Amino acid sequence: MHSNQGNHIPDYKTWSNYQDWNDPRGKEKVQNTEATIKKNEQALSYYSQAGQMPNGYEDQDLRGLMKSTDRMRERMVPSAAEEFRYFTSFQIGHMYWRYLMWNVAGRQNDRQGHGEYTEGNWISGISAVDEPRVGSRSSLPEIERKNKGCNTYFFIPLVLALIGLIYQLVRQPKDFTVVMLLFILTGIAIVIYLNQTPQQPRERDYAFAGSFYAFFIWVGAWFVFWDLLLWAQEARAARKKRKKKRFIE
């Protein structure tokens, strides 16, 4: 994640759990280290202008202060694991998966969400799934429960799409490859290309419309699978009827 906007930093720390930022003790440790680095930088800036150390730093060796400050800066560089957590939790989870789930599970309300429990999350209508993530809807005021942006599909489109995906994979592997490539290249590949930062000015679900179209091709494949099941059932019933007729004759 790369950004030159200071207001992105707290959100980046939260989404990546930067140095245990989401734990109060980890957050305090990071803040103390940042405060120390800032004081040291101010002291070094004062020395460059005045030629002497400021009050409180008289006993500090210039070279030792510079080395210790550099070591602290190096420790504050985000790790690869933190970068990956940011990618999976925010860029994939919040800025892609959440939008997909709006279409196959349901949507909490029509307000933009930045990670809050009450704004723009996906819900399914199944309490056991939703309550651990966004809390109980029964405690919400009536105006929230009747929000026009609230929809619940109980995972039905998701289940149908997964069945259609498996059917197409087994019966039409070449077609499955084409649809899967379309799904990935207009979804996850765009997530990687955009490298989105926190605090987006608006929801970005429109950027992944092609991926959602591809996903719903598998819902259509489910209907083909269902039609084949009905045809097979009718064919079996017809064979049984013919056998029974021959037996009677």
Burial 85-111 (b: 16+ CB within 10 A, else e): bbbebbbbebbbbbbbbbbbbbbbbee
CA 23 to chain centre: 21
pLDDT tens string 201-216: 999 999 999 999 999 9
CA 186 to chain centre: 16
**59 lies in which domain range?**
19-77
Please tell me the predicted confidence (pLDDT) of residue 241: 74
Tell whether 40 is covered by a domain: yes
Q: Give the separation between CA 117 and CA 3, rounded to whole angstroms.
A: 25
As given in the structure block, the two tokens for residue 108 are 């909490």
pTM for this one?
A: 0.89
Structural domain total, the chain: 1
Tell whether 35 is covered by a domain: yes
Tell me the mean pLDDT per 10 residues along the chain, length 249.
Answer: 78 95 96 96 93 88 93 94 96 97 96 92 95 88 88 96 97 97 97 94 95 97 94 84 65
Please tell me the predicted confidence (pLDDT) of residue 138: 83
Tell whether 144 is covered by a domain: no
Please tell me the predicted confidence (pLDDT) of residue 130: 95
Helix, coil or strand: residue 121: coil
Tell whether 186 is covered by a domain: no
Tell whether 64 is covered by a domain: yes
Burial 58-76 (b: 16+ CB within 10 A, else e): eebeeeebeeebeeeeeee
pLDDT tens string 49-103: 998 899 888 888 899 999 999 999 999 999 999 999 999 999 999 999 999 999 9
* Residue in the block written with tokens 């070449």: 174
As given in the structure block, the two tokens for residue 220 are 């259509």
Tell whether 33 is covered by a domain: yes
Which H or E element spans position 63? helix 62-75
Tell whether 32 is covered by a domain: yes
Tell whether 131 is covered by a domain: no
